[in-house]
Amino acid sequence: MKRLIPYVHRDVSWLSFNYRVLQEAKDESVPLLERIKFLAIYSSNLDEFFRVRVAGLKNLLRVGKKTKRELDFEPQNVLEELLEIVNQQQTEFSRIFEKLIIPELKENGINLLRRTDLNKQQENFIDNYFQEKLLPFVQPVLLVEKKVKPFLSNGALYLALHLIESDDKNKSPRYAIVKIPSDHTPRFITLPPSKKDKHDVIMLDDIVRHSVKMIFPGFEVKDTYSIKLTRDAELYIDNEYSGDLIDKIRKSLIKRSVGPASRLVYDREMPDHLLKYLMDVFELDKFDLLEEGRYHNNSDFFQFPHFGKKHLKDSDLPPLAIPYLENTESIFPEIAIKDHLVFVPFHSYESVIRFFEDASKDPDVTHIKIIQYRVAKQSRIMNALSQAVKAGKQVMAFIEVKARFDEEANLEWGAKLEEVGAKVHYSLPGLKVHSKMALVRRLEKGTPKIYGYLSTGNFHEGTAKVYSDIGILTSDMRLLSEASRVFNYLETKKRPTKKFENLIVGQFGLKEKLLQLIEDEVKAAKDGKKALIFLKMNSLQDRQMIDALYRASQKGVEVKLIIRGICSLVPGVKDISENIEAVSIVDRYLEHARVFIFGRGQRRKIFLSSADWMVRNLHHRVETVFPIFDTEISKKIVDIMNLQYSDNLKARHIHLEKNNSYRKEQADFDIRSQVETYFYLKRDLEEEMNKRSTEE
C-alpha cells in the first residue's frame, strides 16, 4: 500500500499563519499599542482572505461536479474546515481584546468605554456628536422580508436592530438596519475625561447604539447587533487574450464593490430569530456566516489613538542611512566599483530612490526601465521617472495592472507616465509580471554602461518602511545583460532565443532549474558530502517542489526552511521529512525577502528571488531569481539567514505535532532576529565607514 504523502491545503496553512499574527496580540512582551496593531493586521488579513480565497471556494461549489473532478480536494470539506478554524480564532480574538487588551489599556490610563459606562457629560457629548456628525450618514431602513432588501456596501459596518412598535400589544418583532458611518468619521472618538490624567475613548459603534432611538420614533429598541458583509473581490476577467485588457479591468473594478457575498460577519450574541431573518432577507446560507464579537472591521484598530504614550510602542530602529550612496554627488560611480546590498527597512530606502532621482537628472543617462507591481500613492520614484521623460530621456515602465487591490493605483500611475511621454507597457495575457527590476543606461566616455537594481520587493516607498526585503545595486553585466533580455521580452512579447545562464526566469525554465538545484544536493549527499538546502520565502505550496524536498530529506540532505506564511510541506514526519526543520518568524516587520541557498563551502550557491514556491509563481508569472556573485554580500546574507534561523523569541515551529509553538531553545541569551539583523547591519556600516575614512 502506497504511503500517503503529507500535504496541508494552502488555505488551512494560511490560517495557521494568520494565527501567528494573532499570537503577537496576546504576547505580553510586545508593547500594548503594538499588540492592538496586530489585532488590526489579523483582521485586515482575514478580510482579504474571505474576499479572495473563500469567495473562490464558494464559486467552485457553485460550478458543480465537472470542475470538482479536476481538483485534488473537495471544496465543501475545505470550506467547512476553514470556517471551523476561523470560528475558533474569532473566539480567541474576542478573549484577547476583552480580557487582555481592554484591562491593560485601563492600567495605562486609557478607558475604552461602552455606552453604559458613560457619565452625564459624556452622554450629552455623544448625543450632540450623533446629531451633528453622524445623522446624515446612518441610512436607517425598516426591513420587510422579501420586499425591502437594502444593499449592504462591501466592508461597511451596520447595526441590525430588534424593534417593537410602541402601540403593538402583541409585541411582534420588527427589524431594521442602520449604517455605522466609519467611512465618514473616525472609529475611535475621544470623550471628555471622567478623571484627571485619564483618557476616555468610545467606539463609533456605541455612539450609534446609544443614539439610534432618535431615528425610530414610535418604536422601542429592544437590542442592537453589529453586522458586516464582505464581497467577492476577484475580477474574473474572461478571455484576456482578446479585447482591451485595461478597459476590462477598469469595468471589473466597478463591479468588485457589488460582487456576491463572501461572508456575513455578525455578533455571536445575536438571537436566532434575527439571524434567520437576515439570512432570508439577504439570501445567505450557512457557508456565508461567521461569528465574531461585538465589533467588526477590526482593521480600524490601526487608527487607535496613542495619546503620546511612546512607552506603549516599539522602541525606534531608525533606518540606517548609507552615506556613500545617499550623500554622494552621483550614485553611479559607487555602483561601478562594486555591488551594494540594500536591506530594508533596516537600511534606508533613500539609496534606491537616489538611483532613480540621479538617473532622472544625470545628463549622461539615456534610458531608464522599470517593472512596477505595486506603487505607492505618493511616489518619488514615479515622479523621478516623469522628470526623466521631461529631461529627454527614454523611459519604459512595465506596469502590472492585475496586482490585486492595486489595480486602480497602477492604472493611474500608468496614465500619468503616458501623459508625459513615457513608454508604458501593461499586463501580459494570461500572466502576471512579478519581477522586481530596474535598469539605467548611461553613456560614459561615449560607451554605454548599464546599472541595475534587482530586488525581492516592489518599488514602493511605503512598504519599504515595514516589509523586510533585500536588493542589490549592481553594474555586473552577468546579471544585467540577461535582465535586459527580460525587459526586451516584456516590450516586444517575443521570447528570447538565447538561454539564461545566470538569471533564473519565470516562463523560461524557472521550476526546472530550481528542481535541478535540489537534485544537485541529493547527488552531493549520495557522494558522502554534507548537503544543505536553506530556503527563506513567504509561501511554499507547489506539490512538485515539496515532493523534491521530501526526497532530499530522505536522501540525507539537511533542509532548513524559514517560511512566513503558507507552508503546505509537513516537517517532522518519520521516513519522509525527518531532516526538514521549518520555522516562521512574525515580528514588527513583515518578512518578505526570498533567499535560496544550496550547498556548503565552495559548492554554495546563493540566490535572491521575487518568487515564492507556489503554483502561481512557478507557472503563471514572470519572475526573476538572481545569483549573488559578490563574496562580501554573500557572507552578509548567510550571516543574516543564520541569525534568523537562530531566533528563539519570534520564531515558531512549523511542525506535524508542535505547530505554531514558540521556538524557545536552550541558549545563553535571547535572539530576536529582526533586532539582531538591524545591529548586524549597523556594525557592518560602521566598519565600512571607518574603512573608507582610513583610506581617505
Render 562-608 in DSSP notation, one character per residue. Answer: EESS-B---TT-TTTSTTEEEEEE-SSSEE---EEEESSGGG-EEEE
Residues 6+ apart with CB under 8 A from 4: none
For the segment 398-403, the average pLDDT, to the nearest whole number, is: 84
Would you state the pLDDT for residue 377? 86
Whether pLDDT at 663 is above 50: yes
Among residues 620, 627, 626, the alpha carbon closest in space to that of 506 is found at 620
Q: How far apart are CA 571 and CA 565, in angstroms?
A: 15
Q: Computed from CA positions of residues 63, 64, 69, 72, in that sequence, does the dihedral angle turn out positive or negative?
A: positive
The per-residue pLDDT for range 491-525, each reduced to its tens digit, is 999 999 999 999 999 999 999 999 999 999 999 99
Among residues 85, 143, 91, the alpha carbon closest in space to that of 269 is found at 91
Would you state the pLDDT for residue 255? 56
Residue with cell 502506497: 2
Would you state the pLDDT for residue 458? 95
Residue 131: HSE in the Cβ half-sphere, 13 Å Cα cutoff: 7
The per-residue pLDDT for range 559-580, each reduced to its tens digit, is 999 999 999 999 999 999 999 9
Architecture of the domain whose range is 504-678: 2-Layer Sandwich (3.30)
The per-residue pLDDT for range 88-112, each reduced to its tens digit, is 999 999 999 999 999 999 999 999 9
The model's pTM: 0.92
Long-range contacts of 247-253 (CB under 8 A, 24+ apart): 249/401, 249/402, 249/407, 249/411, 250/411, 253/407, 253/408
pLDDT band at 62 (very low <50, low <70, confident <90, very high): confident
Q: E strands, 336-494, where?
A: 340-344, 365-372, 394-399, 423-426, 432-433, 437-444, 447-455, 467-474
Residue 480 C-alpha cell reads as 544585467
CATH of domain 323-492: 3.30.870.10
Would you state the pLDDT for residue 263? 82
C-alpha dist (Å) from residue 75 to 71, 84, 297: 9, 14, 27
The per-residue pLDDT for range 167-212, each reduced to its tens digit, is 877 888 899 999 999 989 999 999 998 888 899 999 999 999 999 9
Cα angle 683, 687, 693; round to 5: 145
For the segment 353-375, the average pLDDT, to the nearest whole number, is: 96
pLDDT band at 405 (very low <50, low <70, confident <90, very high): low
The larger pLDDT score, comparing residue 50 to residue 106, is at 106
The per-residue pLDDT for range 292-313, each reduced to its tens digit, is 989 999 999 999 999 999 999 9
Would you state the pLDDT for residue 54? 87
Residue 514, SS3 per DSSP: helix
pLDDT band at 243 (very low <50, low <70, confident <90, very high): very low
Would you state the pLDDT for residue 577? 95
Would you state the pLDDT for residue 80? 92
Taking the mean position of all CA atoms in its chain, how far away is CA 351?
A: 24
Would you state the pLDDT for residue 247? 67
Query: Would residue 561 be called left, alpha or beta, if left means φ above 0 and alpha means ψ between -120 and 50 degrees?
Result: beta
Q: How far apart are CA 573 and CA 389, in angstroms?
A: 57
Torsion of CA 177, 182, 185, 190, to 10 degrees: 100
Please state the domain extents for the chain.
10-312, 323-492, 504-678
- Whether 10-312 and 323-492 share one fold: the answer is no
Whether pLDDT at 237 is above 50: no
- Give me the catalytic one of 425, 434, 592, 653: 434
Q: How far apart are CA 263 and CA 399, in angstroms?
A: 32
Would you state the pLDDT for residue 403? 66
Any catalytic annotation for residue 9? Answer: no
Residue 141, SS3 per DSSP: strand
Residues 6+ apart with CB under 8 A from 678: 317, 320, 346
H helix runs in 172-301, sequence order = 204-211, 245-256, 272-282
Residue 366, SS3 per DSSP: strand
Mean pLDDT over all residues of the chain?
Answer: 91
Q: E strands, 251-409, where?
A: 261-267, 289-292, 340-344, 365-372, 394-399
pLDDT band at 283 (very low <50, low <70, confident <90, very high): confident
Would you state the pLDDT for residue 376? 87
Whether pLDDT at 120 is above 80: yes
Q: Which CATH class is domain 10-312?
A: alpha beta
User: With contact defined as beta carbons under 8 Å apart, do 579 and 530 qualify?
Assistant: no
Would you state the pLDDT for residue 133? 93
Burial of 696 (0-12, 13-18, 19+ CB in 10 A): exposed
The per-residue pLDDT for range 521-543, each reduced to its tens digit, is 999 999 999 999 999 999 999 99
Residue with cell 476553514: 82
Would you state the pLDDT for residue 239? 42
For the segment 619-626, the average pLDDT, to the nearest whole number, is: 96
Would you state the pLDDT for residue 1? 36
Whether pLDDT at 240 is above 50: no
3-state helix, strand, coil in the chain (%, to 5): 40, 20, 35
pLDDT band at 285 (very low <50, low <70, confident <90, very high): confident
The larger pLDDT score, comparing residue 324 to residue 377, is at 324
Would you state the pLDDT for residue 427? 86
Would you state the pLDDT for residue 235? 52
pLDDT band at 585 (very low <50, low <70, confident <90, very high): very high
